[in-house]
């Protein structure tokens, strides 16, 4: 799975993208956040309050109960501030 | 006609309107977002999610075209470093009558602010911070009943 990070989520994690292989128990965005939180301090900090983070799967906004699979592109970012 | 561009360069609102002015256009509404001149703000830096940005804007332009009888829509959003006084975003909507053009423009601006994946960072002196999303923008978008 390809994971992308933007804005302060990217800064806290220290990278803009990475590829990871999903363990079978990870089936939703919420599961993926739990998995990522175990990967180090930057991830812990980025996902300390998941309510401050938004997610997209295959470039569409999703809620944390959205499904994820190994072929998906998932992105995590703060609430958007364009316009 | 539907034009969506994400670019670092400035845009010319007049030229973009002229490009939308086909024969049966009776109303053209444009919204230009500008970096406010503010004593302590030295610059904004905008980043986005390439690919998703264009798709998300296109989805909302399609939705606007379903809701109102439009003859053309242009959305241009700048990225990179912008200083106070510079243009950030242009939404131009052409229709036969003003009601549709006004409403569709507001709809698109409200959705750009709450759904299009852009993030602004402010530079104030030596301090750099991410702009927080505003509840009032969510409220403005909610009145359209999400597509």
pTM score above 0.90: yes
**pLDDT tens for each residue of chain B, 147 residues long:** 899 999 999 999 999 999 999 889 999 999 999 999 988 999 999 999 999 999 999 999 999 999 999 999 999 999 999 999 999 999 999 999 999 999 999 999 999 999 999 999 999 999 999 999 998 998 889 888 766
Residues of chain B whose beta carbon is less than 8 angstroms from a beta carbon of chain A are: 33, 46-49, 51-52, 55-56, 77, 88-89, 109, 112-121, 130-133, 137
- Which residues touch A45 (CB under 8 Å, ≥6 apart)? A12
Query: In the 3-class helix/strand/coil scheme, how is B79-135 assigned residue by residue?
Result: CEEECCCCEEEEEEEEECCHHHHHHHHHHHHHHHHHHCCEEEEEEECCEEEECCCCH
Interchain pair B52, A78: CB under 8 A: no
Q: How many CB atoms lie within 10 A of CB B91?
A: 27
Task: Write down the number of H helices and E strands in chain B.
Answer: 4, 8
């Amino acid at each position: 799975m390809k994971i992308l990070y933007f804005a302060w989520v990217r800064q806290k994690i220290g990278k803009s993208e990475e590829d990871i292989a999903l363990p079978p128990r990870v089936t939703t965005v919420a599961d993926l956040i739990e998995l990522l939180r175990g990967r180090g301090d930057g991830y812990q900090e980025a996902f300390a309050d998941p309510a401050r983070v938004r997610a997209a799967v295959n470039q569409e906004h999703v809620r944390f109960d959205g499904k994820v699979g190994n072929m998906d592109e998932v992105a995590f970012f703060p609430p958007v501030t364009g316009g | 006609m539907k034009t969506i561009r994400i670019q670092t360069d400035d845009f010319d609102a007049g030229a973009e309107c002229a490009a939308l002015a086909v024969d049966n256009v009776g109303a053209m509404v444009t919204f230009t977002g500008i970096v406010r001149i503010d004593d302590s703000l030295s610059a904004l830096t905008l980043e986005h999610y390439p690919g998703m940005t264009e798709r998300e804007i296109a989805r909302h332009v399609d939705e606007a075209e379903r809701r109102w009888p439009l003859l053309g829509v242009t959305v241009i959003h700048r990225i990179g470093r912008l200083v106070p006084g510079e243009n950030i975003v242009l939404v131009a909507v052409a229709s036969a009558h003003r009601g549709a053009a006004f409403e569709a423009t507001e709809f698109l601006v409200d959705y750009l602010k709450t759904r299009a994946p852009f993030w602004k960072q402010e530079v104030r002196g030596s301090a750099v911070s991410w702009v927080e999303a505003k509840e009032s923008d969510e409220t403005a978008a909610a009145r359209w009943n999400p597509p």
